[in-house]
Amino acid sequence: MSFSNIVGQDIAISILKKVLKGGRVAHAYLFAGPDGVGKSLATKAFAKALICEVQKEEDSCDSCTSCKKVDSASHPDVYWVSPSGPKGLIKIKEIKELRRRATFKPYEARHNIFVIEGADALTEEAGNSLLKVLEEPPPECILILIASNLTRVLPTILSRCQTIRFTQISPRRLKGYLIESFGLSETDAHLLTSMAGGSLGRAVRFMESGLLERRGEIVNSFLKIGSGEELADSLEETFDRFSDKEELREAIELLALLFRDMIFLKVGAEKDFLANPDMKEVLEKFSADFSTEDIAEVLQKLREFTGYMDQSVNPKLILPVLLNSINNPQGNKTYV
Ligand SMILES: [Zn+2]
């Protein structure tokens, strides 16, 4: 893992390369941006480059002993703190340990590197304790803080770090990367890109959790409509197989994307604009019985359903009612 493996963060990476080239490294950086866009990967790549034994100008060599140790999280001079416990917080105990370690000289490298993955998950007490290191950092220390929600970072911490911004990855780059690196088909890469909201991390998580297979099953439910089967019955059969709550949540999101595509088709959107371009003909046929308002109402119901799931309502109880409301948009309006 080096900078060349990070996709779609050209500005952030070019700033970090400039820092490495100029040799003027600050004591504290804050890598800020949405989840899953490469902040942690960039942190690792930056840490490696800072203490690489080969000392290339702008990046790590990715193969020396030091680089390998950072990769396997076994470098004695790179200390990584992450949120833990049921609330996902970083507590004062962990920051006290960091401060204790910061008083030592590095064992092997030129720097002592401390990573705080979740600067937005520090308790107030932990944040204030961290501030003491940020105010007077020991000379060899470099701190890299990572945060997706800047409003939860103490302003006093923000003001003492150099912020490097990470942004969402453009759909074109993300799709191209998924095709190139994972050998996905155009259709699959397109769907993952639509669902991932500019986050490579999310796209990969979706892929690994079997989202594409679930999408195939939902699509098959739509294809059965032609053979006379009611959509709700067909969908209910499919959804029954998704026992895990997360699987069900994703399946609902996939279903919502199909309905969202129907709205786009109603207003004459081009095929490329759809999340499910391969389904254009089926969706056009299916949506002929729906008005735009009907579809908008179904989308609203799907959103509400996800809301019920967040409130821990048993999805199995409300799912049949929801699916029935999709079945006959013109007739029975007694939705969930
Ligand atoms: Zn190296």
Name the token pair of 101. 């370690």
- 289-302 confidence digits (pLDDT tens): 788 888 888 888 88
The rounded Å distance from CA 59 to ligand 1 centre is: 9
User: Does residue 172 lie in a domain region?
Assistant: no
The rounded Å distance from CA 74 to ligand 1 centre is: 14
Q: Which pLDDT band holds residue 332 (cuts at 50, 70, 90)? A: very low
The rounded Å distance from CA 70 to ligand 1 centre is: 9
User: Does residue 66 lie in a domain region?
Assistant: yes
Q: Note whether 151 and 254 are same-domain residues.
A: no
Give the chain's domain count: 2
Is the predicted pLDDT of residue 112 greater than 90, yes or no?
A: yes
Between helices 200-208 and 211-223, what is the axis angle to 10°? Answer: 70
Q: Note whether 21 and 132 are same-domain residues.
A: yes
The rounded Å distance from CA 48 to ligand 1 centre is: 7
The rounded Å distance from CA 50 to ligand 1 centre is: 9
Q: In which element (H, E) is residue 80 found?
A: strand 78-81
Is the predicted pLDDT of residue 328 greater than 50, yes or no?
A: yes
DSSP class per residue in 105-167: PPSSSS-EEEEEE-GGGB-HHHHHHHHHHHHS--TTEEEEEEES-GGGS-HHHHTTSEEEE--
Q: Note whether 151 and 247 are same-domain residues.
A: no
Domain boundary among 106, 132, 165: 165
**Cα 82 from Cα 311, distance rounded (Å):** 27
The rounded Å distance from CA 178 to ligand 1 centre is: 27
Q: Residues 192, 276: contact at Cβ < 8 Å?
A: no
Domain boundary among 165, 180, 196: 165
Q: Starting at the earlier edge strand, list the strands of the sheet with 78-81.
A: 78-81, 112-117, 141-147, 28-32, 162-165
The rounded Å distance from CA 257 to ligand 1 centre is: 44
Q: What is the distance in angstroms between the CA of the first residue and the CA of the last residue of the chain?
A: 49
The rounded Å distance from CA 246 to ligand 1 centre is: 39
Q: Note whether 217 and 146 are same-domain residues.
A: no
Q: Note whether 214 and 297 are same-domain residues.
A: yes
The rounded Å distance from CA 114 to ligand 1 centre is: 18
The rounded Å distance from CA 297 to ligand 1 centre is: 56
Q: Residues 260, 254: contact at Cβ < 8 Å?
A: no
**Cα 126 from Cα 119, distance rounded (Å):** 10
The arithmetic mean of pLDDT across residues 106-128, rounded, is 95
Residue 93 identity (one-letter amino acid): K
Q: Kindly report the CA angle at 175 between 171 and 180, in degrees rounded to 5?
A: 150
The rounded Å distance from CA 65 to ligand 1 centre is: 7
Domain boundary among 109, 139, 165: 165
The residue to which tokens 């960091």 are assigned: 98
Polymer length in residues for the chain: 336
**Cα 169 from Cα 173, distance rounded (Å):** 7
Q: Quote the pLDDT of residue 160.
A: 96
The rounded Å distance from CA 44 to ligand 1 centre is: 12
Question: In this structure, what CATH number is given to the domain that contains residue 312?
Answer: 1.20.272
User: Does residue 180 lie in a domain region?
Assistant: no
User: Does residue 84 lie in a domain region?
Assistant: yes
Task: Report the range of poorest mean pLDDT among 111-120, 121-130, 199-208.
Answer: 199-208
Q: Kindly report the CA angle at 46 between 29 and 109, in degrees rounded to 5?
A: 100
The rounded Å distance from CA 177 to ligand 1 centre is: 25
The rounded Å distance from CA 2 to ligand 1 centre is: 10
Beta-ladder partners of 32: 147, 165
The rounded Å distance from CA 6 to ligand 1 centre is: 17
Residue 244 identity (one-letter amino acid): D
Instruction: For residue 253, give the nearest of 197, 321, 329 by alpha carbon.
Output: 197
Question: In this structure, what CATH number is given to the domain that contains residue 138?
Answer: 3.40.50.300
The arithmetic mean of pLDDT across residues 209-234, rounded, is 79
User: Does residue 195 lie in a domain region?
Assistant: no
Q: Note whether 156 and 214 are same-domain residues.
A: no
Q: Quote the pLDDT of residue 333.
A: 38
Domain interval for residue 118: 3-165
The rounded Å distance from CA 219 to ligand 1 centre is: 47
Is the predicted pLDDT of residue 195 greater than 50, yes or no?
A: yes
User: Does residue 201 lie in a domain region?
Assistant: no
Q: Note whether 53 and 140 are same-domain residues.
A: yes
Q: Note whether 73 and 134 are same-domain residues.
A: yes
The arithmetic mean of pLDDT across residues 198-223, rounded, is 86
The arithmetic mean of pLDDT across residues 117-146, rounded, is 95
Top pLDDT among 311 and 33 is at 33
- b/e burial code for range 48-58 (CB count within 10 A of at least 16 → b): bbbbbeeeeee
Is the predicted pLDDT of residue 324 greater than 80, yes or no?
A: no
The rounded Å distance from CA 62 to ligand 1 centre is: 5
Average pLDDT, the chain: 88
The residue to which tokens 């490097």 are assigned: 164
The rounded Å distance from CA 299 to ligand 1 centre is: 51
Q: Kindly report the CA angle at 70 between 65 and 76, in degrees rounded to 5?
A: 85
Q: Note whether 134 and 214 are same-domain residues.
A: no
Q: Residues 147, 115: contact at Cβ < 8 Å?
A: no
Q: Note whether 118 and 244 are same-domain residues.
A: no
Helix/strand/coil for 331: coil
User: Does residue 191 lie in a domain region?
Assistant: no
Q: Note whether 150 and 12 are same-domain residues.
A: yes
User: Does residue 181 lie in a domain region?
Assistant: no
The rounded Å distance from CA 51 to ligand 1 centre is: 7
Name the token pair of 42. 């960039």
Residues near ligand 1 ion, CB 5 Å cutoff: 52, 54, 60-61, 64, 67
The rounded Å distance from CA 45 to ligand 1 centre is: 10
Q: Quote the pLDDT of residue 9.
A: 93
The rounded Å distance from CA 101 to ligand 1 centre is: 23
Task: Report the range of poorest mean pLDDT among 21-35, 144-158, 238-252.
Answer: 238-252
Q: Which pLDDT band holds residue 228 (cuts at 50, 70, 90)? A: low
- 301-322 confidence digits (pLDDT tens): 888 888 887 777 777 777 777 7
Q: Note whether 93 and 218 are same-domain residues.
A: no
The rounded Å distance from CA 141 to ligand 1 centre is: 19
